[in-house]
Structure 1
Amino acid sequence: MSNSTSQDHHISSESPHIVLFPSPGMGHLTPFLRLAVIFASQGCLVTLIKPQPSLVSDEESKQISNFLNSHYNINSLEFHPTILNSENSISNLHYSFINQVKALNSLILCQLPSFLLSLPKPATALFADFAVAASLETVSSDISIPCFLVCTTSARCYSTVAYLPELISKISKNPSEFEIPGISPVPRSIIPPSWLDISYSNELLTTYLIPNALSLSKVSGILLNSFTSFEKETITSLMEGKVLTSLPPMYPIGPLHPYELDQIQEHDYFSWLGDKPAESVVYVNFGSRTVLSDEQTIELEQALKRSGFPFIWVFPKSSFDDSFVERKDVEGFVLKGWANQPGILSHPSVGGFINQCEWNSVTEASKEGLPILAWPQHGDHKMNAEVVKNSGLGIWVEDWGWGGEKLVKRNEIEARVRELMGDKSLRAKAKKVAKEAKEAWEGNGSSKQALYGVLELLIQQQQQKKNHHLK
C-alpha cells in the first residue's frame, strides 16, 4: 500500500468523508497532515480544518499553506473566528499551552456542530486531538458522527495519561513508581513534575489531562503513531483491554510516512551533507520550542567539536545567539528555524541523532534506523526516551534529568556522542527497528492491517447510516 497521493485517484460518492481537526503545534499538526495523505491515497474524501491563525505560529501557518498547495486533492476549511478576541488570542497568551487548549475547546463547543452540518458532503467521521476529547464528548449528540482521536505521543505515555485519574490518589503517597495494569511500572521520575501537582490551581491537570482522560471511553477509537513491535507490551495490553477495560479500540498505524513536501531536498545543507562520509554526521535538533540555556549550548557545541564528528544543528527561531546560527564551517552546519528533518534523517551521511524525544522525531528515526541520543527536556519526553532505550533505537542517560535541571558537561556529552556514533551493536539494533517499521507497512503488516480496520469500520458505519435513512 502506498502512502503517496494519487493525483488521478477518483473519489466516488460512496467514499468515506474524513474530517481532520488538528491542534496547534507542529508535534500535533505533522501527524494529521501525514494522515490526510494516507486517507486520500485510499480513496477517501479528506477535509482538513485549519487551526485558527491566532492559535498557531507563523512557521506552522507556512507549513500548512505549503502542504495544501502541494496536495490539492485535500480540502481545507477553517472556523470563522467569531469567538476569538483580544483576551484569548495567541499574542496575548504568550503561547500559553493551557490557554491555547481553552480557546480551541471554546471553538468546538460553540461552532463545531453547525460547522460540520454545513459541509457540502456529510462527514463520515471526525479525527481530532486528545486536547479536545472532553469537548467532543459534550457535543457528540449534536455531531452524530463517529469521533476518533489521533494519539501524537507514545503508547507508553498514552497509557499513563489514560490511567492518570486512577493514579491521583496515589500521588500524595510519593511512590517511586506507579503500577498500571498490563504494562511495566512507570517510574515517578519519568512523569513530568507538573502532572504530579494535584493542587486545584494546576490547570494542566484539572482542565486538560483529567477531563480528557475521563472522556477517552466516549470516542470510537484511537489512532496511534506507533507500531506493535516497537512498543509490544504496551500496545498489546492496550488492544487487549488490560490497562483499562473502558478504553476504545486502539489502531497502531505508525510510523506515519512523510509526505512529499517533507522530502524536498533543495537546501544548502544537503549539498554540505553530500560531501561527508557515510554515517559520519551527528544531527542535533531539540525542536522548535525547546531552547537550551546559553551555558548548556556552549557545552554541547564544545562536546561536538571535541568528538571530531561533523554535525548539523537546528536552532529554534528564538535562539540565544544569532552569531552562532546560520554558520557553516568544517565542523558543522548550523541553521535557524525549520529544517527538512525527514530528509536529513534519511541522508546516508547522517549517523546519529541528538534529540529531546518529541514523538514525531522518534518515529521518523525509527523508520530510518537512526540511533538516538535521547535528551528529554519536558512533557512526554522521558516516557518516549524510555521507549527509545527499551526498543534498542538509542541511548538515554537518565541522570541528566529534565532540561535545565543540571548543566551536563562537555566531557559527559562527548563520551555519549562517541558511543552514539561508534557503537556497532547500537547501530545494528537501530537497523532492526527500521526493518520492523518497514514490515509493519508491508504485506499483512500490523500497521497496514490496523489502517484497513479503520477504513472498513468507517465504510460499514456509513452504509448503516445510509440504510437507516432509506428506512
Structure 2
Amino acid sequence: MSASDAHVALLPSAGMGHLTPFLRLAALLAHNNVRVTLITTHPTVSLAESQLLSRFRSSLPQVNLLDFHLLPLDPATVNSSDPFWLRFEAIRRSSHLLSPLILSLQPPLSAFVLDMTLISPVIPVTRALSLPSFIFFTSSVRMLSFFSYLPTSSFAGDDDDLLCIPGIPPIPRSSIPPLLLVPDSLFAKIFFQDSAHLSKLDGVLINSFKGLEPETIEAINGVENLRKLLPPFFDIGPFTPCEFEKVDTGNSVDSPLKWLDEQPEDSVVYVSFGSRTALKRDQIREIGEGLVRSGCRFLWVVKDKPVDREEEEEVEELVGHGLIAKLKKKGLVAKTWVDQREILSHRSVGGFVSHCGWNSVIEAAWYGVRILAWPQHGDQRINAEVVERSGLGLWEKKWGWGQEVKGEEIGDRIRDMMNDESLKKSAAQLRDAAREAVGDGGTSKVAFQRLMGEWQKKMSATAV
C-alpha cells in the first residue's frame, strides 16, 4: 500500500492566513501521489481568497474541489463583528452537514485534515464515521504549545506575569491575544472549546521546522506534560510557495517587480501587515513618516479595511498627498494584493516590517529576509518571540497591542534592522536550515514520510 492509495480531505477556514497554507499542503500531498479533496465555502470573505482558489483550480486540476454550503448565521447571536471570525463560526455551526459530503466521496477517505478553528464541532462528525482526523495548526509550534497548555493552567495576573510551560521559554501575559482575556468573546470561546478536544485527534500537522523553533519542537517531542496533551505531532514545514500563488501584474509600469528590478541588492525594506490587518489613518501616516526618516528604499503595501472588497479610497487619500510626494523619492506605495513570495525572494529586498502572521514569518525564513516584528493581534506577539529567539529579526516589545507608534521610532528601528549585519547573517543561516529541513533526510522530510506511514497504517487497519 502506498501514498497513491490514500484519499485525504482538507477543510480550511476563512482568511488568506488559513487558506494559503492549506493550499500549499494540498499541493504537497498531490505531488506525492495522494488523492486530495479540498472542501471550500462560497462565497469567500475576501476577493484575494477567491482569486487564489481560482488560480489553484487551474494549476492543480487533479485536486477535487467540493463546495460546502453553510447555514445562514445571524451576527446578533455572536459576540464578534469580525467578518472572518463570523465565517469561522458559520462553518462550525454547519459542521453536521459534512457527513453526507464525506460519505459521497469515492474512493472513501483515508483521513480528514481540518483547520485549527474547527476542532470541537468537526470531531464528533469524523468519529461517527470512524474517520481518522488531523488538524493543520496554521501558526507556530510555540503558539501550539500555548494552545494546548493554557486550558490546564490557572494563569491570570499582571502583564509582567509569565505562563510557564514545561520545556520552553515562558510566555508573558502581555503576549497573550487580548481577546482571549475577554471570556465572552468569540475568539475565547473557540480557543478554549477546541483546545480541550486536542487529545481526540489522530495528529497535528504544522508548518514549521526544527531550525526555526528547536526548543519548542524538542519539548513537544520529549516533555511528558506537553506530549500527553497532544496527539502525534508532524512538523512538516516550511511549505514552499507554489506557482499558483503568482499574481499576474502584466507589463504595468507600476508593477512592484519592475520597480524592484531597478533597486540595488539588499537595499529595499518591504512593509506589509498581511491580508486582514487594517491600520488607523494616523498610524498609516506615521509609518510613512518613518519610512522617509529611515532613508531606506522601500516597498509599502497599505491597507485600511479588513476585507479587500471594501477598499475604496486611493492610496493618496490614505497617506496624504504631501507625504506621498516625499515617499515617491525613495519607494513605492501599493494598495493592491501583491505576490509576497516574489517580493521576499527578490535580490533587492533585504528587510521586512511584518505583523508576524505565521505565513509571513515562514516565508521570510525560507528566503532569508530579516524581520522588524510589529505584532498587531492574535498569535502575532507569540510568533514575534519566535522571530527574536531564532535570530530572524528584531522585536520592539514596547510597541503594544493597538498602540500608535511615532514615525521617528519607526524610522530608527528600520535603520537598526537594515544595518545589523549579524541579523543578516543569522537570517541567511535560517534560510539554509529551511532548505535542509525539506531535503532528503531533513527533519521535515522525515516527519512527512512518517505522516504518510501513519495514513497507510490507518488505511490497512480500516481495510481489515
Return the TM-score normalized by structure 1.
Answer: 0.89
Q: Does 1:287 align with 2:274?
A: yes
2:436 alignment partner, one of 434, 439, 442: 439
2:168 alignment partner, one of 170, 183, 186: 183
Gapped regions of structure 1 (runs ≥ 5): 1-10
* Deviation digits for residues 263-289 of structure 1 (CA, Å, limit 9, x no counterpart): 456451111100000011110000122
Look up the match of 2:308: none
2:461 alignment partner, one of 449, 453, 464: 464
User: CA–CA distance in 2 between the matches of 1:47 and 1:264?
Assistant: 24
Q: Does 1:75 align with 2:53?
A: no
Look up the match of 2:123: 137
How many pairs were matched up? 446
User: CA–CA distance in 2 between the matches of 1:101 and 1:323?
Assistant: 30
Relative to structure 1, the CA distance from residue 463 to residue 353 in structure 2 (aligned partners, 3 Å threshold; closer, same or farther) is: same
Amino acid at match of 2:19: L
Contact 1:262/1:343 (<8 A) preserved = no
1:246 alignment partner, one of 226, 229, 249: 229
Give the 3-state SS of the residue equivalent to 1:50 in structure 2: strand
Return 111-120 or 30-39, whichever deviates more: 111-120
Return 59-68 or 278-287, whichever deviates more: 59-68
Relative to structure 1, the CA distance from residue 17 to residue 374 in structure 2 (aligned partners, 3 Å threshold; closer, same or farther) is: same
Alpha-carbon offset, residue 12 of structure 1: 8.8
Look up the match of 2:92: 105
User: CA–CA distance in 1 between the matches of 2:329 and 2:59?
Assistant: 36
Alpha-carbon offset, residue 69 of structure 1: 1.5
Amino acid at match of 2:215: E
Contact 1:177/1:186 (<8 A) preserved = yes
Relative to structure 1, the CA distance from residue 233 to residue 77 in structure 2 (aligned partners, 3 Å threshold; closer, same or farther) is: same
Q: Does 1:56 align with 2:52?
A: no
Look up the match of 2:360: 361
Amino acid at match of 1:33: L
Relative to structure 1, the CA distance from residue 60 to residue 265 in structure 2 (aligned partners, 3 Å threshold; closer, same or farther) is: closer
Relative to structure 1, the CA distance from residue 14 to residue 386 in structure 2 (aligned partners, 3 Å threshold; closer, same or farther) is: closer
* % same residue: 39
Relative to structure 1, the CA distance from residue 277 to residue 177 in structure 2 (aligned partners, 3 Å threshold; closer, same or farther) is: same
Q: Does 1:25 align with 2:15?
A: yes
Contact 1:345/1:364 (<8 A) preserved = yes
Contact 1:241/1:247 (<8 A) preserved = no
1:305 alignment partner, one of 286, 289, 292: 292
Contact 2:3/2:456 (<8 A) preserved = no
Look up the match of 2:314: 322
Equivalent residue runs for 1:271-286 within 5 Å = 271-286=258-273
* Deviation digits for residues 284-320 of structure 1 (CA, Å, limit 9, x no counterpart): 0001221222222112111212222221111236369
Look up the match of 1:171: 156
Look up the match of 1:344: 343
* Deviation digits for residues 38-70 of structure 1 (CA, Å, limit 9, x no counterpart): 0001011111111231x5222211211121112
Alpha-carbon offset, residue 330 of structure 1: 3.2
* Deviation digits for residues 106-150 of structure 1 (CA, Å, limit 9, x no counterpart): 2212x1112100112111111111111111222233222111100
User: CA–CA distance in 2 between the matches of 1:350 and 1:297?
Assistant: 21
Contact 1:16/1:458 (<8 A) preserved = yes
Relative to structure 1, the CA distance from residue 62 to residue 14 in structure 2 (aligned partners, 3 Å threshold; closer, same or farther) is: closer
Look up the match of 1:391: 390
Q: Does 1:124 align with 2:110?
A: yes
Look up the match of 1:156: 142
Return the TM-score normalized by structure 2.
Answer: 0.91
Look up the match of 1:6: none
Return 238-247 or 71-80, whichever deviates more: 238-247
User: CA–CA distance in 1 between the matches of 2:443 and 2:3?
Assistant: 29
Contact 1:288/1:315 (<8 A) preserved = no
Contact 1:300/1:413 (<8 A) preserved = yes
Q: Does 1:43 align with 2:26?
A: no
Relative to structure 1, the CA distance from residue 88 to residue 70 in structure 2 (aligned partners, 3 Å threshold; closer, same or farther) is: farther
Look up the match of 1:296: 283
Contact 1:195/1:204 (<8 A) preserved = yes
Alpha-carbon offset, residue 229 of structure 1: 1.8
User: CA–CA distance in 2 between the matches of 1:107 and 1:52?
Assistant: 13
Alpha-carbon offset, residue 362 of structure 1: 0.2
Runs of 4+ residues over 6 Å off in structure 1: 325-328
Give the 3-state SS of the residue equivalent to 2:438 in structure 1: coil
Relative to structure 1, the CA distance from residue 77 to residue 12 in structure 2 (aligned partners, 3 Å threshold; closer, same or farther) is: farther
Alpha-carbon offset, residue 323 of structure 1: 3.9
Return 16-25 or 413-422, whichever deviates more: 413-422
User: CA–CA distance in 2 between the matches of 1:446 and 1:427?
Assistant: 24
Amino acid at match of 1:314: V
Contact 1:317/1:337 (<8 A) preserved = no
Give the 3-state SS of the residue equivalent to 1:73 in structure 2: coil
User: CA–CA distance in 2 between the matches of 1:57 and 1:173?
Assistant: 37
Amino acid at match of 1:366: A
Alpha-carbon offset, residue 73 of structure 1: 1.5
Contact 1:316/1:338 (<8 A) preserved = no
* Deviation digits for residues 219-238 of structure 1 (CA, Å, limit 9, x no counterpart): 11111110012111111111
Alpha-carbon offset, residue 400 of structure 1: 1.1
Relative to structure 1, the CA distance from residue 126 to residue 277 in structure 2 (aligned partners, 3 Å threshold; closer, same or farther) is: same
Contact 2:281/2:304 (<8 A) preserved = no
Amino acid at match of 2:41: P
